[in-house]
Structure 1
Amino acid sequence: MQWYGRRTIAYVLLGCTVFMSLIVYHLHYGRLVQMSSGSSMTSSRPVNRSSSFISQSRDKSSDYKTLLQTDRPVEPPNDVGVYFSVKTTKRNYEERLALLMMTWFKVVENKVTVISDGSDNNTFVNKARKEGLEFFISDCSEDHSMNGLCCKLGEEFAAYYRAREKHQNDERYKWFCHFDDDIYVNMPRLNQLLRQYDPDQPYYFGKWHEKNHNCPYLPLNLIGKTDVRMKKGNYTPKQKVYQFATGSSFCISSALMTEAEKYFNGKGAYGVSCSIPQRSDDVTAGFIIGILLGHNLTSVADFNSQFDKLSTLEDTLHSITISYTTKQVKQKSGTVKTIVPLVPVDPIFDNDPTRFMSYHCLLYPDVSWCKR
C-alpha cells in the first residue's frame, strides 16, 4: 500500500506538470497571435461603417520607430485604385503646388490630376505635365466664391468621368479622392482605410466638423426655380439635415460616383447642382449624396485640414491628411501673411514653415534630399 501510494502521488504530480505546461503554451501562443494580428496594416476581417479604423483608440505607449516603420509606402504605392484630384489656382503654383510635387505626389508617381485656372501656356504648367501630372486649365474664376469653387469641383468630377470612360479596365478609378493644394496625403494611411471597404458599394469618406452643425435644407423657395432633374421625386419640401466632408479632402467610391453622375457630370452640371442648396462646393456634395441619394457621410477623424491642430507626433503619424493655416502679422513694413504649422514636427530644414518637407522625411527618410 505504501508503494501504491507513492506511485499515485507520482502520477498526480506528472499530470499537474503536463497541465501547467499546456496552460503556459496556450497563453504564449495566444499572445503571439494577438501581437501578429495587431501589427498588421490591414485587417483580414470585413469592416463595416462602424470600422475599427474610424473609432479605434490608440495605444499611447506605441514606439515611434515602430510607427514610422509601419507608415512606409507599400508597393505599389496606390494599390487600392485611387484617382487623385487636386484643385489649385495659378497664384498658388510656386507656394503650394510645387511643395506637393516635391513630396507626396512623388509617392504616387505623379499620377495626379490638377484642375486650375489662368493660362494654359505657363512655364510651371508645362514642367508639371512633363513630370507626368494631368494638368487641366479650366474656365473657372480664380476667386474663392461659391461659383468659382463649384465650377472647379465640377471640372474635377468631369475629368474623372472622362478618364474612367477612356480607361475602363484601369484599376485606378475605384475611388475618387479630392484634395486641396494645402493638403499633405499620408498614402499608407489612406490605403489602410480604403482597403477595408468595397468600392462597388456607396461610400463617402471625409471629416465632419461638429462645430459647423448639421446643414438644414429648406427647399420650399427653390422648387420650380432650378433644374428639372432635381424636382421629380428626389426630395420633399420638408426640412432635412445632412452632413458634408470639409472640402479640403474627401473620397467617394466608384459606385457612388456612378450613382451621382447625373448631378456631378456634364457641362456646368455641378454649378446647377450648387444652385439648389445655395451652398459652396463641398456642402453641395454632401447635399447631393445625403439628401438626393440618401447616403450618409462616413466621418473619419484622421482627415485633417486647416481647422485641425494636432498635439502629438503619434496623432500626426496616424493622420491621413495634414495641413497648415495662415495668420496676418503686423510689422513695421505693414501686415504680412505668415504660415502657421499645425503639426508637432520639428523642422529639419531652414525654410519649411508648413512642416510638409520635414514630415515627408519622417515617413520616407531615404529620399535623396532628406539625407542632405
Structure 2
Amino acid sequence: SLPLPCNPLRFGGLFLPAADIGVCLEDDGLWHSVWYLLCELLRLCLSTGGRMVNTNCSAAHSRQALSCKMAVEYDKFIESGKKWFCHVDDDNYVNARTLVKLLSQYPHAQDIYIGKPSLDRPIEATERISENKVRPVHFWFATGGAGFCISRGLALKMSPWASGGHFMNTAEKIRLPDDCTIGYIIEAVLGVKLIRSNLFHSHLENLQQVLRSDIANQVTLSYGTFENKRNAINMKGGFSVEEDPSRFRSIHCLLYPDTPWCPSNFTY
C-alpha cells in the first residue's frame, strides 16, 4: 500500500492536498524493483509517510489471493483517515498531478466511484443467497487493471461487506475477482453508479491509441500484451524499447523532463 503524502497541489483554483489520497498499489512482485525505483526518483514525498505493507496474501493471481489483497487495501485505507481510496496495479503508471486534478472535482463526503470498465455491458453474476438459493445480478465495475478511486463517504458505507474478513466473504458470495466485488458492493448492493472516466487505462485496451499529445492529461497508463502483441504507449523517448519496454520511463521524462535521470540530450 502506497499512500501519497505529497504537498498540496493547485490546478486552476482547484485545491486538494495529495495527502488526502491513499494510493494502494497491488504488487505481485514482478514489478517491485521498477516501482521502488520510480517511487524514489519521482520524489512523491514517500519519506514523509509512504510505506510498503506486506499483506501476507498469496502471490498467486487467483480470485482468493486478489480478494485478500484488496481486503487489506480497504482496511488500511479506512484506518488512514484519508479522503480518497485509489487502487492501481503494479503495471500502471500514475500521473499524480492529473489524479489530484480529477479528484478535486468531486466531494469526498459524497458517494463517488470513478474508473473505467473493461466490458461494453454490465457483468452478469450469480449471487448466493443461501445454501440452495441463488439469484442473478447485473452491475458495472471499474477494472482494477486501469485503477479506480472511491470517496471516503462511499467507502464507509461499504464497511458491512468489505471491512475485516467481510470482503473475502462477499467475493465468495458472487465468485468473482476483487475489482468485480468492489463493483458489486457499490452498484448492486448500495445502488451507487460508476462514474466512467476515459483517463484510466489498462493493458486490456489498445494503448497505442493513446496519442502522445494526450499523455499529460491521463490519470493512469499501462503496459502488457493486447491480442498477443506487445501493448504499450507508442512514443519516442530518451530510452530504447529494450531499456524501457513499458515506456514508463519515457512517459515520466515527457511529463517531468527535469528529473535527474532523464536524458538531457533528448528533447521531449
TM-score (norm 1): 0.61
SS of residue in 2 equivalent to 1:369: coil
Deviations 1:175-198 (A, max 9, x none): 110111111111221122111111
Cα distance between partner residues in 2 of 1:299 and 1:103: 31
SS of residue in 1 equivalent to 2:53: strand
Aligned to 1:57: none
Deviation at 1:277, TM superposition (A): 1.1
On the 8 A contact 1:203/1:253 being kept in 2, the answer is: yes
Would you tell me which structure has more strand in proportion to its own residues?
2
1:180 to 77, 81, 89: 89
For the structure 1 residues 327 and 282, does the alpha-carbon distance in structure 2 shift closer, same or farther, using more than 3 Å as the test?
closer
For the structure 1 residues 224 and 161, does the alpha-carbon distance in structure 2 shift closer, same or farther, using more than 3 Å as the test?
same
2:220 to 321, 327, 331: 321
Aligned to 1:279: 176
On the 8 A contact 1:100/1:184 being kept in 2, the answer is: no
Aligned to 2:46: 110
2:21 to 82, 97, 101: 82
Query: How many percent identity over aligned positions?
Result: 30
Cα distance between partner residues in 1 of 2:17 and 2:75: 25
SS of residue in 1 equivalent to 2:149: strand
Cα distance between partner residues in 2 of 1:307 and 1:342: 11
Q: How does 1:144-293 map to 2 (within 5 A)?
A: 144-164=61-81, 173-211=82-120, 213-219=121-127, 222-225=128-131, 239-248=136-145, 249-266=147-164, 268-293=165-190
Aligned to 1:305: 202
Aligned pairs, number: 250
Mark the runs of 5 or more structure 1 residues left unpaired by the alignment: 1-39, 45-73, 112-130, 165-172, 232-236, 330-337
Would you tell me which structure has more helix in proportion to its own residues?
1
Deviation at 1:274, TM superposition (A): 0.3
Aligned to 2:51: 134
Deviation at 1:41, TM superposition (A): 4.5
Cα distance between partner residues in 2 of 1:313 and 1:162: 39
Cα distance between partner residues in 2 of 1:149 and 1:83: 19
Deviation at 1:93, TM superposition (A): 2.1
Deviations 1:245-281 (A, max 9, x none): 0012100001001111122211x22111101111000
Aligned to 1:359: 251
TM-score (norm 2): 0.83
Cα distance between partner residues in 2 of 1:186 and 1:252: 17
For the structure 1 residues 102 and 305, does the alpha-carbon distance in structure 2 shift closer, same or farther, using more than 3 Å as the test?
farther
On the 8 A contact 1:208/1:245 being kept in 2, the answer is: yes
1:92 to 31, 37, 44: 31
Cα distance between partner residues in 1 of 2:169 and 2:53: 21
CA RMSD of aligned residues (A): 2.8
Cα distance between partner residues in 1 of 2:117 and 2:41: 26
On the 8 A contact 2:199/2:219 being kept in 1, the answer is: yes
Cα distance between partner residues in 1 of 2:204 and 2:226: 13
1:369 to 254, 257, 261: 261
Is 1:343 matched up with 2:240? no
Cα distance between partner residues in 2 of 1:349 and 1:189: 24
